[in-house]
Amino acid sequence: MSKKIRILIAKPGLDGHDRGAKVMANAFRDSGVEVIYTGLRQTPLQIVNAAIQEDVLVIGLSVLSGAHMHLCKEVLKLLKEKKAFDINVVVGGIIPEKDIKELKRIGIKSVFGPGTFMKDAVEFVKKLVK
Amino acid sequence: MNSREIAKTISKIENNELKVNSTRNYNAHVIGITGPLGVGKSTLVFQIAKHYADAGIKLGIILNDPSSENGGSFLGDRIRMQKLCEYDNVFIRSLSAKDSGGVAKISGEIINLLEEKGFEKIIIESVGAGQSEIEIANIVDTCIVVLMPGLGDEIQALKSGINEIADIFVVNKADINQAERTLRELEMLVNMRGKTSWKIPIVKTIAIKHKGINELIEKIELHNDYFKKNLTQIKKSKLRNELNYLIKYEINKKIDKKLNKLIETSVQDIINNNSDVNNAINKVVDKIKFES
Ligand SMILES: Nc1nc2c(ncn2[C@@H]2O[C@H](COP(=O)(O)OP(=O)(O)OP(=O)(O)O)[C@@H](O)[C@H]2O)c(=O)[nH]1
Ligand SMILES: [Mg+2]
């Protein structure tokens, strides 16, 4: 039996749409991944604590609100504080080109825009296991 | 509390890399929540948990959701627990349950681990399968069976099963029609048991509005007292059931493949008029050697 891949998908921020996050979650599930879905309007602290307790390999943040910079910085900071910086963070959502570079610089592993095929996102995450 | 360490240990148990001590020390109080799909189990877990968490009790929560055929799963119970994620004294873990019984097979081991780590209350939610939720009762101290109005047939179907496993009945969603009827049906069910040392209480709740929660907590604590007082006796019967389940599980796993082949042969024999059902059964049972 191969090791389970567990990921956590959260939708931080104030806007109330989690369709994108759910599409992402279902694609991962269909590829044999265990997805812990934590729902809407999560604070960075809730997300990081949940990720630690669930011992996930990856946190997938779905952000649409434009607050991605702030949210990602906060999540990464908390991961560092709690000595869990080895948990990979990826972001899905509408992110301007210039911000993608900056996000990767501060430690976000990958950014999946609306044009990304879910297949690619799944492949990317599966590669992280190795 | 070092959440990281506990979380990693649980993963090792899940991946079969570690076996933990598999006997309880009964320092913790383990509460199980079971019942059909969507009756409000997670919402109730949240309300009960919040009560204990606010009181500063060290609390572990285990959430079971079903896994899909390919091994993947969408574990969504945690959506209802968001507010508990900021408590330092609360640890929550989601599990995918592919085995029957309503809880992942390693749930028992995780309970033991959390108990050993000093958790005072442990709450476990089963998958809402509606059937075969019997196993959860063997591994918890207080088993709460949640139902909601309008499940008439379900109550009929579950009659034998849930009556055995429930320590407390909850009729949740009491804000919708026919709550009184469900309540009455359950009362009849409980009265059918005759005189027992623990009379199963029935609690009406509206979990989303925090209605009835205090009364439910009161019953949970009463049952804990009863449980602890009768520990030696109850422990024995739970252990008996638990062993019965786990041993059969292992035996089934062992003979399943063999059995399929033997059944195929029997079907052919019967179709070809070389045997009949009774004959075939005897032959198969004789062929399986249980001594090994
Ligand atoms: N009207 C009403 N709705 C409720 C009540 N409690 C929970 N719900 C709703 O019922 C739905 C299911 O609630 P959950 O707590 O997820 O139920 P569950 O039994 O854990 O569901 P599964 O784990 O999927 O089996 C949600 O939309 C809740 O908001 C209640 O007291 N009244
Ligand atoms: Mg649930």
pTM of the model: 0.89
CA atoms of B168 and B146, how far apart (whole Å)? 9
> Is B39 close to ligand 1, i.e. is its CB under 6 Å away?
yes
Q: Which residue of A has its CA nearest to B83?
A: A46
Q: What atom of ligand 1 comes closest to residue B209's alpha carbon?
A: 31
Per-residue pLDDT of chain B (292 residues; tens, 9 = 90+): 689 999 999 999 988 888 877 788 999 999 999 988 899 999 999 999 999 999 999 999 999 988 877 778 899 999 999 999 999 999 999 998 876 557 777 888 899 999 999 999 999 999 876 555 567 888 899 999 999 998 766 666 565 566 678 899 999 999 998 888 888 888 888 888 777 889 999 999 999 999 999 999 999 999 999 999 999 998 888 888 888 888 888 888 888 878 888 899 999 999 998 889 999 999 888 887 665 4
CA distance A106 to chain B (A): 23
Q: Which among A3, A39, A49 is the nearest to B86, CB-wise? A: A49
For chain B positions 86-105, those within 8 Å of chain A (CB to CB) are 86, 91-94, 96
Closest ligand (CA of B207): 1
ipTM, 2 dp: 0.91
For chain B positions 101-160, those within 8 Å of chain A (CB to CB) are none
CA atoms of B277 and B290, how far apart (whole Å)? 22
The secondary structure of A34-81 as a DSSP string is EEEEEEEEE-HHHHHHHHHHHT-SEEEEEE-SS-HHHHHHHHHHHHHH
Rg (CA), chain A: 13
What are the beta bridge partners of residue B144?
B33, B168
CA atoms of B242 and B16, how far apart (whole Å)? 20
Closest ligand (CA of B145): 1
- Tell me whether B1 touches chain A (CB under 8 Å): no
Model pLDDT for residues B224-241, shown as the tens digit of each residue: 999 999 999 988 888 888
